[in-house]
Structure 1
Amino acid sequence: MHQEIVINLPIEPHEVPKLRESVGWDGRYSDYPLLFERCNFWAGLRDEHNELIAFGYISGMGLQHGYMEDIIIHPEYQRKGIGEALVKSLLQEADRAGLEIVTLTYDKKHQLFYTRSGFVPSAGGVWRKG
């Protein structure tokens, strides 16, 4: 696959929920297209059949700090370097946009992936509505 990750790739509202479900996550259909209006930018990749196979975004105030979320690669395309390319593209766009800090949360099993992608593991916390 020689296609490039595209920043702010045009995406139909149903495509990200479908991709989320392909990896076993809740589709969160009500989040789209609202998410595209509220995040700083997103990135995506399509396969040769024009199907969305990769997606991720950075949100925040757009001043100094951003939050990376929903790094999703369709299961058929995982472990082929697409995730690393997606994260790299998002971080390059963050740099271009003037963000100095990008944070994210991840499952411990993904720590090596994010460390290789330039993130430094750190302590933090998560609040969830009861």
Structure 2
Amino acid sequence: MVLEIVINLPIEPKEVPTLRELVGWDGRHSDYPILFERCNFWAGLRDDKNELIAFGYIAGMGLQHGYMEDIIIHPQHQRKGIGKALVTRLLEEAEHSGIEIVTLTHDKKHEAFYSNCGFARCSAGLWRKE
């Protein structure tokens, strides 16, 4: 499969929640299509059957800083380089659009992956509604 990660790939509102659920996350159905209107840009990849198999986005004010979120790869397509290609493409688009700092949060088990993608560890804070 050719890895053609497409910025602002046309995506139906139900596709990302379905992909989120396939990896064991909450679908967050009410976030879509609103997310597409509010984030700076997103990227996606479809397989030969036109099924969405990869998705991620960067959101922020569109100035110097952006936040990367929802790096999702379909379980049947993980560990094939798609995740790294997706992150790389999002970072290229961030640089192209003038974003100089991209942050993200992730589970500790993904630390090596994001380090391999060029992210440096840093201290941060997190607030979550209880």
Which residue pairs with 2:93 in the alignment?
A: 93
Distance in 2, Cα, partners of 1:84 & 1:124: 23
For residues 15-54 of structure 1, the aligned pairs below 5 Å read 15-54=15-54
Quote the residue 2:81 is aligned against: 81
Deviation at 1:125, TM superposition (A): 1.2
Q: Which residue of 2 aligns with 1:13?
A: 13
Matches of 2:107 and 2:22, distance apart in 1? 18
Q: What is the SS of the residue equivalent to 2:17? A: helix
Alignment match, 1:111 = 111
How far the C-alpha of 1:95 sits from its partner, in A, is 0.1
Task: Give the partner amino acid of 1:38.
Answer: R
1:41-86 per-residue CA deviation (whole Å, 9 max, x = no partner) reads 0000000000000000000000000000000000000000000000
TM-superposition CA deviations, 1:84-127 (whole Å, max 9, x none): 00000000000000001000000000000000000001111110
State the secondary structure of the residue aligned to 1:44.
strand
Consecutive unaligned residues in structure 1, runs of 5 or more: none
For 2:82, the aligned partner's letter is I
The sequence identity of aligned pairs, in percent, is 75
Normalised to the residue count of structure 2, the TM-score between the two structures is: 0.99
Q: Secondary structure at the match of 1:35?
A: helix
Runs (4 or more) in structure 1 with deviation over 4 Å come to: none
* TM-score (norm. length: structure 1): 0.99
Indicate the RMSD between aligned Cα atoms, in angstroms: 0.5
In 1, distance between residues paired with 2:71 and 2:125?
19
Report the count of equivalent residues: 130
Q: Equivalent residue for 1:58?
A: 58
Which consecutive unaligned segments of at least 5 residues does structure 2 have?
none
CA contact (8 A) 2:3 2:82 kept: no
